[in-house]
């Protein structure tokens, strides 16, 4: 995917393990679907790294709810709020109701 994206765009495409590597400082980071198969610990690292590397906000969507799954990672608002508190997020905005068991979250810095 990195090769295909690099050959079809004029933007820098990075191939990183966001749970382990630092990412460049940018205004925004947006994540869609990547959190669905991570553990809770990896999810926390991923969100923390992206939020800390953003100047303005980190926006992500994830599976939402308390459903137990051996394959997928469902997050509840209590888990999301606990991460936001640890990161001193200024404002959390939720968008839900567009797909069953899905939520989009914005962690704003200002």
- Span 53-102, pLDDT tens digits: 999 999 999 999 888 888 898 999 999 999 999 999 999 999 999 999 99
Q: Yes or no: say if 88 and 60 are a contact pair by the CB < 8 Å rule.
A: no
For the whole model, what pTM was predicted? 0.88
In this predicted structure, what is the pLDDT of residue 50? 96
CATH class belonging to 26-108: alpha beta
Share above pLDDT 90 across residues of the chain, in percent, rounded to a whole number: 77
Q: Yes or no: say if 90 and 102 are a contact pair by the CB < 8 Å rule.
A: no
Average pLDDT estimate for 40-63 = 96
Using pLDDT thresholds of 50, 70 and 90, give the confidence band for residue 19. very high
Q: Which helix (H) or strand (E) holds 60?
A: strand 54-64
In this predicted structure, what is the pLDDT of residue 71? 87
In this predicted structure, what is the pLDDT of residue 106? 98
């Amino acid at each position: 995917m990195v090769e295909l994206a690099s050959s079809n765009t004029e933007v820098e495409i990075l191939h990183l393990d966001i749970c382990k590597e630092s990412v460049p400082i940018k205004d925004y980071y947006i994540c869609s679907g990547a959190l669905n198969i991570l553990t809770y610990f990896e999810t926390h690292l991923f969100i923390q790294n992206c939020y800390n590397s953003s100047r303005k906000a980190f926006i992500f969507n994830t599976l939402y709810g308390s459903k137990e799954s051996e394959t997928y990672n469902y997050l509840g608002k209590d888990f999301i709020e606990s991460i936001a508190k640890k990161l001193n997020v200024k404002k959390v905005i939720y968008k839900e109701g567009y797909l069953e068991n899905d939520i989009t979250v914005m962690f704003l810095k200002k």
